[in-house]
Amino acid sequence: MVAYIIRRVIVGLLMLVAMSFIVFALFMKNPVDPAQFSCGKNCPPERIEETRQALGYDQPLLVQWGAFAKGVVVGREYPADEAMREANPELVTECAAPCLGYSQQLQMTVNDEIAEAAPVSISIALVAVTIWVVFGVLFGVLAAVFKGTLVDRGVVGATLSLYAFPTFFVGALLINFVAIKWGIFPAPGYVTIAEGGVGEWLLQLMLPGFTLAAVYMAGYVRMTRAFVLESMSEDYIRTAKSKGLKGGKVLFKHALRAALTPLVTMFGLDVAAVLGGAIITEDVFNYYGLGKLAVTANETYDLPTIVGLVLLLGALVIIANIVVDVLYAFIDPRVRVA
């Protein structure tokens, strides 16, 4: 098992190296001049040249990528050009390992950007994941138990219609009615735990959390329903029943346990995805998380930020996959031995 995990981690790291290179290459092959973009609209040619040097865009692709990779491992200093650093020591910015780059547009290191935005995304993700897993699995089990009845159709229908609405629509609807017209929740605005305590923090996260959960919940309801129904028809369920076990024990100990494997797989990937930022939800509620950061970086052609976010998301997905594989071993003893 340990050897397996080590192997997976090494493969994961190689994938990250490849990903960073591909993002670099794609970015540089683009006809838009990133230095021009960083510098702004009314930038004189010599300033553009300066910016190009400061960001290292004057170097060949491989050299740039090498400097970036080195920065991730040991950290680096900005501006990228050594002569510029010596000429203006007051402008030098330290970027400690793992340095993901420096954004000229935002005038800060990508690490700092992420450190600022990540708590917002993590908070929204936490609330959303809790809502969709608890209610998704609960409703899914309900629908399976009452298969074919009004409960089943109601639950599946309701979650599907919620899923069918675009996220920005659900979000806007919630802001307009629940927050503004009815005043059940305060108008959205992110509050840290340090500022407002856990209660206030959670309260401000309910609407975006629910909006994001609405997207995922339908999938979990349907998957849970399908897998519970599937395992309820297995032979070992008949065995459990013929032992005289109570209905609840048959359902939760025997049927749901078997349905857990596919749910955990889905869960791992979804969590990784929402931790990397919920673009639409964050945009609608104007919460400055990783999703909104990514949108802004794309609009302003901010290469270092884009590369940093792509790598972060990639790393999250890779980690989630490894964690899911390790979880399999806990769920299914057949995996443990093999």
Partner 1 sequence: MTDLSKTPETTLAKDGAFLSVRDLKVHFSTSDGIVKATDGLSFDLERGKTLGIVGESGSGKSVSSSAIMGLHRGTNAILSGEIMLDGVDLLKVSNEDMRKRRGRDVAMIFQDPLSAMHPYYSVGNQIMEAYQVHNDVTKREARKRAIEMLDRVGIPQPDRRVDDYPHQFSGGMRQRAMIAMGLINNPSLLIADEPTTALDVTVQAQILDLLQDLQRDFDAAVIIITHDLGVVAEMADDVLVMYAGRAVEYGPCKEILTNPEMPYTWGLLSSVPDLTASTEAKLIPIRGNPPSLLNPPPGCAFEPRCDHVAKVGGDLCRTVLPELTPAKSGGNHIRRCHIKNADEVYEAEILPEIAPDLVED
Q: Of residues 202, 245, 264, 266, which one binds partner 1 by CB under 8 A?
A: 245
Q: Of residues 7, 70, 153, 246, which one binds partner 1 by CB under 8 A?
A: 246
Question: Is residue 240 within 8 Å of residue 155, measured between CB atoms?
Answer: no
Q: Which is nearer to partner 1, 223 or 240 (CB)?
A: 240
Looking at the DSSP bridge assignments, the partners of residue 277 are: none
Contacting range for partner 1; rule: CB under 8 A; set: 23-31, 85-93, 233-241, 318-326: 233-241
Tell whether residue 248 is a contact of partner 1 (CB under 8 A). Answer: no
Contacts with partner 1, 190-229, as mask; x by CB under 8 A:
----------------------------------------
Count the neighbouring beta carbons within 10 Å of the beta carbon of residue 310. Answer: 18
In angstroms, give the least distance from the CB of 258 to partner 1: 7
Tell whether residue 240 is a contact of partner 1 (CB under 8 A). Answer: yes
Q: Of residues 52, 225, 254, 292, which one binds partner 1 by CB under 8 A?
A: 254
Q: Which is nearer to partner 1, 69 or 329 (CB)?
A: 329
Tell whether residue 236 is a contact of partner 1 (CB under 8 A). Answer: yes
Looking at residues 1 to 40 of the shown chain, list those that interact with partner 1 (rule: CB under 8 A): none
Question: Is residue 306 within 8 Å of residue 106, measured between CB atoms?
Answer: no
Tell whether residue 189 is a contact of partner 1 (CB under 8 A). Answer: no
Return all residues near 249 (Cβ < 8 A) that are at least 6 apart. Answer: 240
As given in the structure block, the two tokens for residue 184 are 């059940």
In angstroms, give the least distance from the CB of 106 to partner 1: 50
Looking at residues 43 to 82 of the shown chain, list those that interact with partner 1 (rule: CB under 8 A): none
Three-class DSSP category at 77: strand
Contacting range for partner 1; rule: CB under 8 A; set: 46-54, 58-66, 76-84, 249-257: 249-257
Angle between helices 110-145 and 150-164 (to 10 degrees): 160
Count the neighbouring beta carbons within 10 Å of the beta carbon of residue 154. Answer: 14
> Maximum CA pair distance of the chain?
84
As given in the structure block, the two tokens for residue 130 are 């809790």
**Measured between alpha carbons, how far is residue 13 from residues 100, 103, 150, 265, 311 in Å?**
15, 24, 49, 21, 10
Count, residues near partner 1 per rule CB under 8 A: 21
Distance CA 334, CA 329 (A): 8
Angle between helices 2-28 and 303-331 (to 10 degrees): 160
Catalog residues that contact partner 1 under the rule CB under 8 A. Answer: 234-236, 238-246, 249, 254, 257-258, 331-334, 337
